[in-house]
Chains A and B, each alone.
Chain A
Amino acid sequence: MIYSVVGYYALILGLISGSILTYFSVQNFRNSVILDTKILSLSFLQLFFVVISFFGLVLSFVVSDFSNETVFNNSHTTKPLFYKITGTWGNHEGSLLLWLLVLTLFVFIFLLRTNNQSIKYKILTTIFQQIIIIGFFIFLLKTSNPFNYLFPIPEEGLGLNPILQDPALAIHPPILYLGYVGSSIIFSSALAATSLRMVSGSWATHIKNWTLVSWIFLTLGILLGSIWAYYELGWGGFWFWDPVENVSLMPWLALTTLLHCILVLEKRSILTSWVIILSITTFTLSMCGTFLVRSGILNSVHTFANDPERGLFILIFLFVLIFISLFIFFFFHKEDQKNSINLFWLSKESAIILNNWFMMYFLSVVLIGTVYPIFLDVISSEKISVGPPFYHKLIIPFLIPFLIAMAIGPQMKWIKSNLESKKILIFLLFISILISYLVVKNFDKNLLVNTILISSAFYLFFITVRDFFTKKFKNISQNIAHFGFSLLILSILFNNLLSSEVIANLKIGESYENSKFKIILEDVNQRSEKNYNSVVANFKIISSDGKINKMSPELRIYNQPNIVTSEADIKTSLMKDKFIVINLVQNQEYFNVRYQEKPFMLWIWVSVLLLSMGGILSFFKKRI
């Protein structure tokens, strides 16, 4: 009870300090000789209040204070302490408080760490960031207060959705948010830089680090979510083109694009308008995502409880932000007309523009695929579904030139370059096509498409491997990231081609056999834990080469809320994952068993880690 009260008032104090901060910032902006020390102190104070409020909520969860409505709705006394804590952000109110925490954290670090930029710029960035922060304070207090008081106080809470009770998902939201919400600072500083007409190469260097930070966290956040979906949702996929997944992919695509074109701005001082547009787009997409997820107009596995009032608030807020951005962009931004932009075909900047062109296409596919069904429903009330086949058809053909350009682009130099060692580039292309053909001809399906696709991925793979040797530590971060991407595409493709699966109904003692393996359901035992009872089925899997694996998938019957979940058993090895999951069939003695062998699963995760490694190395490069 006391924690909730403290949390609530801390939230109000945070809002007040935000307002005072904005007031002083405006004052300071008018006569800005030196930065008012009050600004940094107030920003710290605001962060402090939000941290207090956040811990207020965490502690309410820890002590299971059911007079707090959020705790009542999402917790239970029998839950392990770890999930009581992580339950704090496993719901709408708590996760919005996390939003606010990241927003205030980033502006504070921004003020602290930005030393070589003008005072006016720092202040203006703070003001824009405060507009967002205050908007979210009001949103939280008005529509989604995490500290609502319940009376009479319930004896017991409703519990956390069991599929959210998972270590990967426990840290997924904070990591994802650091990227997702972190992009707000890019938005604010882009607006500030535009207003002050200081979008230049040195500004690009300064904002690049912030872009990298957001990008790294967003990449890792998406990875964690994907790993979670793989083993917890229970059917062995890792990306479903689900609207909520798309919503996290869109800012990622925009950030990746920004990361590339910011280099052009840094080196050549061109593409100023484009960098600004991208900076604004990234955060706008994050906001759009929040709107889509929280308004409940999406049909998704991930949807929280939601209500229309919240959706409306975010929508209005989103439009205000877009309006401010457009106004600033068109009113203040003057494109440098004097030196019209001349580029050589063969140059790094041309290659990056090519990258941007394709990335924007991928972004528009995901955006249109996610949003179009909603529009159609509103306009003609006809419901359509846009699923994986749509995305595959529109993205895969474009991936082929994209991968090849990704291999050749980094071979170029800035301004003007000749393609050196053309012979080896062509030779590697030939080798890639040959290898792919030889591999793909073993499968009966889609020979041509798969050969071309796999060759282009192999091409990127070979060229990046070669670059590790020829370029050594020069551009190592870029090379690792591109290498990681080639590995990602290759792993996904081979995973798709080589996966095999079996669905069978088995009673105890029965077995299923095909040419590759034999599955025997040996016995079933029961286990009892604090917050769930489980049925564990013990399987013996004999592969055709005689290897025996024991696997024990589980059915968990959670007590609060009363939900049955299937816990897959996964044996991960370097080359392949064995994945087994059981389901109960009502009124039947048998289990529905799903067994899959999925090659290169581990490599999918490793390659995304490599991608983010590239980002991390790039972040620390200057400091080494």
Chain B
Amino acid sequence: METDELPEDVLPMTNAFKLLCEESAPKQNKKELEKQRQTAKKIKTEVEASKLNLKIEYKNLDFWTEHDVKHPLHHLQKAVDATSSRVSEFKWVAPKVTVQETLSTSNTNEKVQIFIEIPSELIADRDFLNLTYPTKRAHFLCAVAKILEKKFQKIEFTAGGINRDDPIFPDLIVDRVRVGIYCNELAKSKRFAPNIGNLRPATVFGEKIFKGAEIATPKFNQRMLWSLLELELIQELEKQIKPLPTARLALFLLRSAIENRHLGDTFTPVVLTVRVVRLIKNGQITEKQEILTVLKVIFKDFINWSTDEVEYLDIEEEQLDDELEEEYSQHFDVNLIWKHLNIAGNLTKNQMARMKKELSTCYPLLGQVYTFDPIFIEKSPLFAQYDSVARLHVNVSQLAPLLAEYGCDSVDNRDVISQFVRSLEGRIEKTMSERYEYLSIHEVTDSSATWKLTDYASQQREKIFLIGFRTTAGWKNPLTVGPSAQTEEAKEFRELWKESSELRKFADTRICECVVWSEKPSDKVPRAVLQFVLQKMFDLPATCLSWRSLTTNSTSAEADQQNEKKSQEAVFKAYNELSTVLRGLKGLPLMITNVHGISGYLRGTEPAYPSVFAATSSWKSGDMHVVPEPGKIPLFSPAVTVHVKLEFSGKWGNDVEAIRRLTSSLYVKIAENLRSVSKLTAVATVDQLFVIQSGIVFKIVVVNDRILTILEEDVQKLKDSGAARIESSLPGMRLAMWKKKFIAEPLLQMSLQSFSTSHKFFGPTVQLFKKWLGAKLLSGQLNEHIIELLVVAAISKKGCVEPQSTWSSFARLLDLIATHPWSARPLIVGFGVKSFSEEERSKLEEKFVKMRPVLPPMVVIHEEDHLGSKFTRENPQGIVLNRLVAVAKEALKLMEKHTIGDKSIDLETSLLTENLSPYDAIIHLEPAAVVRKKALLERRPPPENSKIRQKLPVVELDPVDELVYQLNNNFHQVAMFFYNKYGGHHIGVMFKPTEEEVPAKISRCSLHKSVSDSSLRLNRAEILEDVQIMGRGIVSDVQLKRE
């Protein structure tokens, strides 16, 4: 990413932004700081004054066991035995102790650190070789622990190192103060350049594998170097950053942004601080800059952080010679050098790519008040960050055959595993880099970094990782295309793929080496590739990797997806054909000028249950259409709504009813025309016209702007007459209704349609959301438009990298529902280019605060509804919204368990499982009445040249919908009804607790019975009996669960 790709500063610094930044700064807990200072002081005096009588061989690790402390390198006794030192005796010598405040360089809990220098008389001149220094260091640490043990309550070992994850160089935590050991005198820093070997693998893993091998140990060198330079570096950093409070604040904000995006494991506080201090030293950050400027400078610097060049903390400092720089570039992905110490040595290219992507998404939003939270405060779950995730389980015993490779530069199992993971990452890069933008490997093993003095350090024989991919369009590509045949590269390629590649000729006459994974693009391809890598290239068992996706049974899931996609394409094609026919119709009094399809089927957001195609019927009658037989439930056929507009005419008159009648006779004309000229099935009714095109039913509605004018005139007349409260008057309501139905909804649908074309996974996500809502028996509680808007909001949330798959967008959606403060903030949905500016947002939010008491529980603001209540006025009620939030949280937990748990579950099935236990009563439905379910027999369109004209089937008649509507209508005062629109066989009934027992009043007696003179009780049996009476033919049984 280059600088010129970033949009230049447009927003000036505002007070509001400054305030926000300052408000979110950590409140310096002075008490805690003071306490830690006191502790540190006490430790210092204790250690300096102590006179421990101790003299042992440094190889004697068991000595400490007798004193109730376990030497942290105890499990490496063999390796320690293989070391040698001129000073083989270890004794206690009072050391130099430094207390250093680490407000910027450590995590927020550790405000003060103590550094103890090992006295030089304990160290010999070649102790930097092998594990001599780590052993002595650990001895010293044990001694310090022993000294402090009596005076302090809580002392624990903790992993040290630059990432705080290195148990070979442990520290102590004493009452929340970190105590580290360093040794400045050990050797010169250039002794630890990456091309030098300081650890003979044979000392660690024995002579068998590594007889006499001398290998460069860049990683081990860096670990040693950190222990040497830690104090010096931290002192330098703290000194540089202390006088710049704005830089400190910016650093804090940056850190929380990084941590919220789950990048904190590798972009540690030290790395971030070094990068910021580098900017201070360069003069790019100065004292007088505003916070926004500083943030922008920092973000820009991170986005432009070069992975190719070797960079230095001090630019003026003497640089390494080119040869050494080359060594660094070879061994590390990222190089940020200070005195031979590569501070960014643990970063990988993929992590850098991800960090850059995240920060460059945030960069243009810096300075805005309303995107501050998503950038710096909000945190979404790890699994929602990736489009595809897999769980990798590695046991070190599986790596035994590969030990020759990963044993170099490793001290223990942990190192072997992490080297393997690095190498795996590299191999994935080589084999499938065209399929993803970046990948990340996160350790999910719950390995606590601290352990008790009396415990052995953990051996960590196995680890669990989460591999997440940000996929590209080529993710499912069935081919891995290699270089042209007969070249040197081709040979390499064949070798890499273990001779499984073959030659393929392409359309442009190229002949290339290719690995063929499948016939068609499929989710199985990347799985197969990764399995190939693990099994064939690393000899690992297939079971160590398991993909965590929405479905495990990918064959049937893929078939379903294909089916949905085909349905959507069929609808879209039929719609295009129909609109051509309609526009070209001749012989009508008025020409059709505008055709506008508005339906979820057109963009694949409505599940094709049972099918998008019309049901065929065998009903014999002369009519063009089928009507339902009394008492029988017809098959469900959906209809796709199409709005048409006619050319302008001044002859419509001034009466809405007259226009309606005229339009109905126009429907008849159009129907006649379609039947005779286009040979289509067309049935006119009073308010719409049904047409079957390519087997799909379309509902055509003429939208006449004249009606709008008339309604507006009516309202104007009312206003002129001095009437107040226009909104609740009849003309006012009619106007609002018309505008909603024929202006707001179509415009919104248009935006959704274009959104769905630019986001391929939008349709499947909405479908999954709808089915999930159904499974939670919440169908009908959210307006269809709101459902889609929520998905849009989750996908296009500002300050987050847009998801690319159903998995990630659904996870983000659940997260949005579960974490949005619905009662305190509106949800503002912007469609990319058309989204709201900062100023507009501020006005909208202000209005929201003023209007909150009269607004519904859920407020969703978008381009067509600036108040945010148009589609949420009636539903969901507060109680239902709460339930929605709760079930979303539950689903998130399920997803998390699924991603990192031992066994992979069929997530979609578990998400879509109904739970009937919370309901007071259950209404069981007749199986035949459930018409909107997955069809057993696939419906097909009639053959194109068929001579038989299809009859119009019964359209959009869902008896369950009707029943629920009537139940709510009849019993809304005392009960709520929950159902699953997509094939649910039950309706859940909840009685309102407030109606359980009411005072004996005529106004509250409905559906109650008398129990005493003063009170009435809800007559549940009466309600359920009524349900049975009303639901004859639909309801099979009613079951009261709780009295």
The answer to whether A and B interact is: no
